[in-house]
Amino acid sequence: MKRLLSGWRALMLLLVLLSVWELYVDLGGADPLILPAPHAIAQSLFNDRALLWSNFLVTAEEVLLGITVAAIAGLGFAIAIHLSKTLRQAVYPLLVASQTLPVPIVAPVLVLWLGFGILPKLVVIALVSFFSIVVTTSAGLAAVDPDLIKLMRTFDASRLRTFRHVELPSALPGLFTGAKIAVTVAVIGAVFAEQAGASSGLGYLFEQSIPQLLTARAYAAVVILSGFAIALFALLTLAERLALPWAYEPTGERP
């Protein structure tokens, strides 16, 4: 019931914002070729549904695979810099630097190296989205109670077993948090990657629609991307609740 109510609130706010937007364009506030009205976008969503759908499937595949790569790479980096201080000192600044690379500059190089297939898209998506996973997961790994590490030492646990039984499980909520942040930027990454060289996908469609003055269709592509990001975010939230129920239970003891 509560959740239904919060859904209503989001919907109400959305309706208010859309109404303001619609009025603004209808009253001549902006050229519809630059900023299409919501009703025009809705029309395009319906009329171009086949085109949008086929391109969505391409982008969805890129994003899902890219996020998977990002999660594996992010978890790998987080574990590596957690276990080795030397590695942490050597690699962390470079990881931060990797986030400052402008994607429109990197993407053409990747296309040059990796061709026009899905590979450069996966690299771009992973590049823009893995960092949040590294940060939140390594924070989770580092936040383990030091007394718990001491306890494991008095149990003669090896570094690896302490990691496996204590540190890794307590870092999993961080992994999910990082992945939730990552899905939103992954969608943007997909658009940039497709603009650098692609023959299909919503980013490609977006790129093609603007010079053809089909602005409403370009916005329709963006609406689908937003909806996809929201759906992925919700899916991850649900998966987290199912996989890590303990992270949601009250930690306080019962009398």
Q: Which residues lie near other proteins (CB under 8 A)?
A: 145, 147-148, 150-157, 161-162, 165-166, 169-170, 244, 246-247, 249-255
Nearer to other proteins, 97 or 253 (CB): 253
Q: What would you report as the CA-atom Rg of the chain, rounded to the nearest whole angstrom?
A: 22
C-alpha separations of 226 from 60, 186, 251 in Å: 12, 11, 35
Could you tell me if 133 and 183 are in contact, meaning their C-beta atoms sit under 8 angstroms apart? no
Nearer to other proteins, 26 or 145 (CB): 145
Could you tell me if 53 and 45 are in contact, meaning their C-beta atoms sit under 8 angstroms apart? no
Could you tell me if 134 and 95 are in contact, meaning their C-beta atoms sit under 8 angstroms apart? yes
d(CA 60, CA 246): 31
Three-class DSSP category at 134: helix
Nearer to other proteins, 86 or 248 (CB): 248
Backbone angles phi, psi at 102, to 5 degrees: -70, 120
- In angstroms, what is the minimal distance from the CB of 186 to other proteins? 28
At residue 161's C-alpha, the angle toward residues 158 and 166, to 5°, is: 120
- In angstroms, what is the minimal distance from the CB of 70 to other proteins? 24
- In angstroms, what is the minimal distance from the CB of 254 to other proteins? 6
- In angstroms, what is the minimal distance from the CB of 146 to other proteins? 10
d(CA 199, CA 188): 17
- In angstroms, what is the minimal distance from the CB of 139 to other proteins? 18
Nearer to other proteins, 94 or 253 (CB): 253
Closest CA to 55 of 227, 235, 199: 199
Nearer to other proteins, 47 or 158 (CB): 158
- In angstroms, what is the minimal distance from the CB of 183 to other proteins? 24
Cα torsion angle, 11, 15, 17, 21, sign: positive
Nearer to other proteins, 120 or 173 (CB): 173
Backbone angles phi, psi at 210, to 5 degrees: -60, -55
- In angstroms, what is the minimal distance from the CB of 147 to other proteins? 5
Could you tell me if 174 and 136 are in contact, meaning their C-beta atoms sit under 8 angstroms apart? yes
Nearer to other proteins, 49 or 241 (CB): 241
